[in-house]
């Protein structure tokens, strides 16, 4: 079974530029998550999709961050314009639940540096 794919793995941009990250979840996983992980902290949920609908985007800074999952499969996360404090690892994850069994799988992450 292929894992969660993310690209790019690394990105360096200047502040006020824009950037986009891509995620391809595990086939058949209806739920997709984007997390932001700042160095020394645990991941923080930015947005959760169930198929192509948003379940939770309460911690997404909507003035500069946007995300979409148009066909309920791939997803993109965009930052425009970027700030220095956006430097972090952006993790995508997907999950399935079958009865009492729940598994969430994480992608390798995209390390963003804003200079």
Toward another protein, which CB reaches closer, 17 or 37? 37
Binding site for another protein (CB under 8 A): 3-4, 31, 33, 40-45, 48, 50, 55-56, 91, 93, 95, 97, 102-109, 111
Task: Please tell me whether the peptide bond between 8 and the residue prior to it is cis, using omega within 30 degrees of 0.
Answer: yes
Give Cβ neighbours of residue 99 (< 8 Å, ≥ 6 apart).
Answer: none
Toward another protein, which CB reaches closer, 13 or 89? 89
Name 21's bridge partners.
Answer: 77
Q: How far is the CB of 109 from another protein (least distance, A)?
A: 6
Task: Please tell me whether the peptide bond between 81 and the residue prior to it is cis, using omega within 30 degrees of 0.
Answer: yes
Q: How far is the CB of 14 from another protein (least distance, A)?
A: 23
Q: What does the alpha-carbon distance between residue 83 and residue 65 come to, in Å, rounded to a whole number?
A: 11
Toward another protein, which CB reaches closer, 29 or 64? 29
Q: What does the alpha-carbon distance between residue 45 and residue 79 come to, in Å, rounded to a whole number?
A: 15
Q: How far is the CB of 52 from another protein (least distance, A)?
A: 15
């Amino acid at each position: 079974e292929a894992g969660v794919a993310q690209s790019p793995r690394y990105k360096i941009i200047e502040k006020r530029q824009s950037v986009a990250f891509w995620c391809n979840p595990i086939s058949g996983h209806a739920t997709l998550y984007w997390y932001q992980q700042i160095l020394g902290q645990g991941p923080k949920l930015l947005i959760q999709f169930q198929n192509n609908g948003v379940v939770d985007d309460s911690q997404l800074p909507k003035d500069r961050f946007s995300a979409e999952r148009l066909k309920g499969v791939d997803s993109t996360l965009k930052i425009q314009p970027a700030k220095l404090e956006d430097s972090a690892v952006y993790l995508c994850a997907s999950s399935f639940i079958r009865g009492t069994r729940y598994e969430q799988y994480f992608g390798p992450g995209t390390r963003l540096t804003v200079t």
